[in-house]
Structure 1
């Protein structure tokens, strides 16, 4: 058998008769391949002192298994036995039987396909060999042997979007890819159809779905993308296929699509064997993108300055219905535009490259949303096994919270020349420096010789030699530095997110390796480092006005040029890093991976008070950066960067702060903004937009304004015979009227302009005006004439 490379697209496991089957679809240099592995045995582990009882229980339950004595131990240092099963269903049932009797089936929740891959350290790329059988459009390999490789490849992609009636009847399906872009449209073929060769005309919905099946068979994409593509497009496609009594055969090898509802039925999952489906919204969120609104129109406008003109759902529905009746070519154009926009977003953000690199680093699926715990497990579990241990069972009932990140009480004021010094990846560097690690904790607690351990917090003790996480982070750190040097932004971002997630994983009760001594030894060490760093800075004669997790804000006491401020910042960095290197060597005999960097010089800086108090706020500030010809104000935690404030408040804050920072007069601007608002000149800026995070019926006490607006909107929808839009959450746009909150789509009362002055303009102004000796209430008074 000859070995060849492939990149993993999808993984599945199932029982076939009395044995298991693993199916791995991969993309190879010669095209797609289906890898079959038969007879892998599911396994879990039981403490040796409970093995006899477990054996008796499973025998009585008539579950077939094989037990093996192993050299592995659990985290209590007790030897364990392995229980092996011929099928996944037998393993699942056995674990359930033991759980009822209070016996831990360690690692019983690890999926068979995941275990096969992780134990071979396969992360995305693999090398495989097997008996080849040519199939239509792909090669099937049986009796496969596989191992890890660094192979990667580009994956073909199609953007999919549907248009339908308000009752969910399909009108058209848009598909945009590098090899073919078209719309399949229900309708009679027009006489001038040759002018729109990119439209396939079909007589009815059944033929539309058949056309979709044919398109996937013909063009065979690796990845399907879209906007809410799973919970809207595929959910409806599956429903309409069932109605038309046709299988959606969108998987490779003409395999059927499989739909699964989550336990709460509010989210669904689509499986297309041999392909992966990625929702643009979820993908961007996993890459830490953030937008005021996640509608395709809003994100497109934000990124490209273009989108679609109709954003109200009922205006959009009316327009789509009209186009379907009167101008189907226009509807097809509209449909395809959605597909093109999604592909442009993926292209602009390098999202696909990011997801591929994330998979290469951690082994998690391309479409896995979040996945920090899974990524950590994939990387850590096989190393743990080779060290002679099995992982503990998830046990959240004894969960003890760990302290959060360090946040210093701020010193409110309007400052000249403030420097920001940041510790580079503080928590990962603490893990590296102080050797914090799940295995290291277990080994450290069982090591009596203090010279072989490093102390943590809350009883945590870490072995100096027996650990994996510090070296894992060091390798990622080096890979990120190299990626940054090579300009590989997607790779660098993937590494950063993964590396920074490790603390969150260890501090999460949803992770099997959670131990409060681990998380506390990270955060409490962070507190210690930040406090000591503040002392080092203030010993140099400068004032620390704020500190937050890994950032320290230093007031230089007067205005400095950029060059002079840079010199001070670089000198402080050199002093602090040298001090920590020497201190950690002398105190703990460990090498420091701590590295503070000089980040920013703010020529003007505002640290506001908590609204209505004299106490300084936290995680809220604004600063003016003026360097290399670029002049900008950076906002953190203020109204400008928050989605629950109106455009009026945001525009007012940006202009007001710019004028204060530049020393310009602000009195006329404040007064004019108030008067314009009171006279109704700012209607388009008075819209609140807020998300309903629960079902509408769940809001019973203290009903907030956006919920009242949503209820009014759906009351009107009900009267008009429309579907109710807000019962299960979503976004609502509303304004405050003299009769309270009213939805923008069902506005009945006059605006309450005074509300916007008191609740939107005044709080903004009160955050900065007192620092220049002015009061909003005085400036907002109307100008008195002479007579």
Structure 2
């Protein structure tokens, strides 16, 4: 094997302390198959202020394996530091705890060895392997360098299990790489028929199922396990089953076990680490890629993305049917099981999720199956650049306390409008960072600069260096990469780059980030306030009216109805002039190049901004409009209104859409209101009356002010116990219920008649009055007669 030409993509990473030093283990996906890279005798490092050298030296006799070295680095307080090098990484933790009793901070001791090795070499996911000592498919003590363009074809398997209502394992399905198979508990029927396009393997016991699963993974050797809630349910149940049978669950490469750990802030959330393999959950991947669905159930997502699913009734009908198939028709259960695997694979393909998570890993430095992690991603790209500027990073909690403002939201002018254009600043916060050189190192340099005349002056007295900074250059690199990705139509990469750039301001405002500083975040958000306010002044000097603005956008009323062509032309002129104005202003005032770029987002032929319910004050983040694109295509848009919120009933959402669309298009609407109310009262809309709400806590935690959804859930679980079924809601979840004359009742056990007056007064009337009152009309006046009749 030509190891000096080998390229790989990082799958998993780990470290362990050995006698000779800390060892780092990486598993790579390569075109020649998976390879393990082991780097032995690594030397972890942390930093301490040089003035505390004597205190550190006093600890050395009790901690052999530590060495101190002089370095040309300093803290954000301008204190020189020395390096503390350790034979084992855990020694740094011991030293940090010992020094903590003397109020002496040890900097960067929490950076894990496998992460530091990568970040200091600017490696994120793609690597090139140089040299080393080969042993089978493993390579020892090679050198890794970045290979940012390398993307192998990953071998994936979709895994799904079926269980009883009490999580007793019935079957395991595997689809994708290698054999397409279902392992089924039980003996084959006397007249077993072939299931079709997959193997059905009967197992005499659950121990045999786990052993066959372990063998399957060793034989087929996938890089990634895909699934739906795959870690929190499927793998968790498989582990519990294996433990119960006294057999190991060996899903890692080299037949190594799954390593489980709990989320530090959410103990019920589990992480499943497998050497050489990643588990990628479809729900987490979709959310990370900013997909939105009313429900993230496999059935709901399949129906919306693929136009098909596999539903066999509600949750209890489904469990009853699974139980029936297990007892009476195991081939049918196997077909149902592997259908889930197939749907997951197709969703990943349709939404390009695997490409997205790979591009995200390459962009952020996070492992493929680590979602969230914005702070870790920021540290990965920032720390090595900061070190090269001569600084070590502060510890979490070192920053000054204080609040900072969020995005600017302009007071709105409620009402109906013709011809509203929305102008939007492209990636406003990243462009502010890039334009005004907002940066942690730059802020420190400005704070301690002797000559302030050449600095960039920001909000709240902040000052930033013009020539010593990191973040503006990082943003510039990502911005250009995104422009290239868009030109290449690489949507997964474009999305990953956009999400990373847009996360930076939020990360700097997170108290869990080592670079958190209220003054730093305010330099971004307050500059955003100024930009939107000055943009408002600019457009109003042109004779238009700014009726609303939110963070990076401004809604401009053109004062009268315009054709789409006229509105597009006005918008183009404003865009050109605003961008030119910023370029001139910033060059003249501070000698800065402007990267602020406003662009046309939408032209609304008709637009509605409601009031806050029960007042005359305009609402925020709530509006609707009939948008028109450059080609003249129309679309109804709803933001923050009941139409866009899942906790309102379909009755309300359908009513709001119907009423607004008629008003926007100049169609008669009075008869629609009265007919809709009458149809509701007469029972014609009963299928639209269901509330679907989330129980965010355990049912027992609700003691005071118990909301309707909790009352319904309690009724449902009381019924479940009565009919000898497991409780469904005691730990939270989603509940569907209707309002009856006896109060909220779940769909599982509805006994009373519908409270139609509730739906008229609590669902239809608030929506109608918000829309009708500006026109001098009301829902009550239109529907009084119908309500009396019913």
Q: Calculate the TM-score normalised by the size of structure 2.
A: 0.96
Partner of 2:152: 153
The whole-number CA distance in structure 2 between the counterparts of 1:725 and 1:102 is: 50
1:714-725 correspondence runs (5 A)? 714-725=717-728
Q: Secondary structure at the match of 1:234?
A: helix
Partner of 1:731: 734
Deviation per residue, 1:562-592 (Å, 9 max, x gap): 1111110001111111111110011111000
Partner of 1:499: 501
Cα offset, 1:89, TM superposition: 2.5
Partner of 1:410: 412
Match of 2:637 among 618, 634, 638: 634
The whole-number CA distance in structure 2 between the counterparts of 1:143 and 1:707 is: 58
The whole-number CA distance in structure 1 between the counterparts of 2:592 and 2:452 is: 14
Cα offset, 1:207, TM superposition: 1.4
Q: Quick check: 1:58–1:94 contact (8 Å CA) kept in 2?
A: no
Q: Secondary structure at the match of 1:768?
A: helix
The whole-number CA distance in structure 2 between the counterparts of 1:616 and 1:700 is: 35
4+ aligned runs moved over 6 Å, structure 1 = none
Deviation per residue, 1:709-732 (Å, 9 max, x gap): 222222222333333222222212
Deviation per residue, 1:223-258 (Å, 9 max, x gap): 111111001011110010011111111111222222
1:478 aligns with 2:480: yes
1:325 aligns with 2:324: no
Deviation per residue, 1:504-538 (Å, 9 max, x gap): 01111111011111100101011111111001100
The whole-number CA distance in structure 2 between the counterparts of 1:344 and 1:204 is: 31
Q: Quick check: 2:442–2:466 contact (8 Å CA) kept in 1?
A: yes
Partner of 1:184: 183
1:104-123 correspondence runs (5 A)? 104-123=105-124
Partner of 1:207: 208
Q: Secondary structure at the match of 1:473?
A: helix
Q: Secondary structure at the match of 2:587?
A: helix
Deviation per residue, 1:603-626 (Å, 9 max, x gap): 000011111111000001001024
Cα offset, 1:133, TM superposition: 4.0
Partner of 1:23: 25
The whole-number CA distance in structure 2 between the counterparts of 1:785 and 1:750 is: 18
The whole-number CA distance in structure 2 between the counterparts of 1:193 and 1:86 is: 62
Match of 1:601 among 595, 603, 606: 603
1:743 aligns with 2:746: yes
Q: Quick check: 1:671–1:781 contact (8 Å CA) kept in 2?
A: no
Partner of 1:173: 172
Q: Secondary structure at the match of 1:603?
A: strand
Task: Tell which deviates more after alignment, 455-464 or 92-101.
Answer: 92-101
Cα offset, 1:772, TM superposition: 2.9
Q: Secondary structure at the match of 2:376?
A: helix
The whole-number CA distance in structure 2 between the counterparts of 1:127 and 1:312 is: 50
Q: Secondary structure at the match of 1:10?
A: strand
The whole-number CA distance in structure 2 between the counterparts of 1:237 and 1:748 is: 39
The whole-number CA distance in structure 2 between the counterparts of 1:772 and 1:709 is: 38
Q: Secondary structure at the match of 1:2?
A: helix
Task: Tell which deviates more after alignment, 616-625 or 661-670.
Answer: 661-670
Q: Quick check: 2:195–2:331 contact (8 Å CA) kept in 1?
A: no
Query: Runs of 5+ in structure 2 lacking a partner?
Result: none
1:385-404 correspondence runs (5 A)? 385-395=387-397, 398-404=400-406
Cα offset, 1:311, TM superposition: 5.0
Partner of 2:82: 81
The whole-number CA distance in structure 1 between the counterparts of 2:34 and 2:178 is: 17
Q: Quick check: 2:11–2:28 contact (8 Å CA) kept in 1?
A: yes
Task: Tell which deviates more after alignment, 236-245 or 184-193.
Answer: 184-193
1:542-561 correspondence runs (5 A)? 542-561=544-563
Q: Quick check: 1:63–1:94 contact (8 Å CA) kept in 2?
A: no
Partner of 2:58: 56
Partner of 2:529: 527
Partner of 1:662: 665
Aligned residues: 782
Q: Quick check: 2:218–2:253 contact (8 Å CA) kept in 1?
A: yes
Match of 1:618 among 617, 620, 628: 620
Partner of 1:372: 374
Partner of 1:457: 459
The whole-number CA distance in structure 2 between the counterparts of 1:647 and 1:305 is: 20
Q: Quick check: 1:238–1:259 contact (8 Å CA) kept in 2?
A: no
Cα offset, 1:144, TM superposition: 2.1
Partner of 1:235: 236
Q: Quick check: 1:54–1:103 contact (8 Å CA) kept in 2?
A: no
Q: Calculate the TM-score normalised by the size of structure 1.
A: 0.96
Cα offset, 1:194, TM superposition: 3.7
Q: Secondary structure at the match of 1:780?
A: helix
Query: Residues 784 and 424 of structure 1: is their aligned pair in 2 closer, same or farther, counting only changes over 3 Å?
Result: closer
Q: Secondary structure at the match of 2:460?
A: coil
The whole-number CA distance in structure 1 between the counterparts of 2:307 and 2:666 is: 32
The whole-number CA distance in structure 2 between the counterparts of 1:228 and 1:143 is: 37
The whole-number CA distance in structure 2 between the counterparts of 1:436 and 1:27 is: 38
1:514-593 correspondence runs (5 A)? 514-593=516-595
Query: Residues 660 and 396 of structure 1: is their aligned pair in 2 closer, same or farther, counting only changes over 3 Å?
Result: farther
Deviation per residue, 1:122-142 (Å, 9 max, x gap): 11111113445454xxx1111
Q: Quick check: 1:7–1:28 contact (8 Å CA) kept in 2?
A: yes
1:752 aligns with 2:755: yes
Task: Tell which deviates more after alignment, 235-244 or 661-670.
Answer: 661-670
The whole-number CA distance in structure 2 between the counterparts of 1:25 and 1:227 is: 24
1:144 aligns with 2:147: no
Cα offset, 1:389, TM superposition: 0.7
Match of 1:362 among 357, 361, 364: 364
Q: Quick check: 2:177–2:222 contact (8 Å CA) kept in 1?
A: no
Q: Secondary structure at the match of 1:188?
A: coil
The whole-number CA distance in structure 2 between the counterparts of 1:711 and 1:144 is: 60
1:330-345 correspondence runs (5 A)? 330-345=332-347
Cα offset, 1:3, TM superposition: 4.0
Q: Quick check: 2:399–2:516 contact (8 Å CA) kept in 1?
A: no
Query: Runs of 5+ in structure 1 lacking a partner?
Result: none
The whole-number CA distance in structure 2 between the counterparts of 1:681 and 1:453 is: 69
Q: CA RMSD in A?
A: 1.8
Partner of 1:221: 222
The whole-number CA distance in structure 1 between the counterparts of 2:760 and 2:194 is: 59
Query: Residues 46 and 632 of structure 1: is their aligned pair in 2 closer, same or farther, counting only changes over 3 Å?
Result: same
The whole-number CA distance in structure 2 between the counterparts of 1:644 and 1:782 is: 29
Q: Quick check: 2:399–2:515 contact (8 Å CA) kept in 1?
A: no
Query: Residues 283 and 783 of structure 1: is their aligned pair in 2 closer, same or farther, counting only changes over 3 Å?
Result: closer
Task: Tell which deviates more after alignment, 83-92 or 491-500.
Answer: 83-92
Task: Tell which deviates more after alignment, 487-496 or 769-778.
Answer: 769-778
The whole-number CA distance in structure 1 between the counterparts of 2:559 and 2:381 is: 48
Cα offset, 1:157, TM superposition: 1.3
1:261 aligns with 2:262: yes
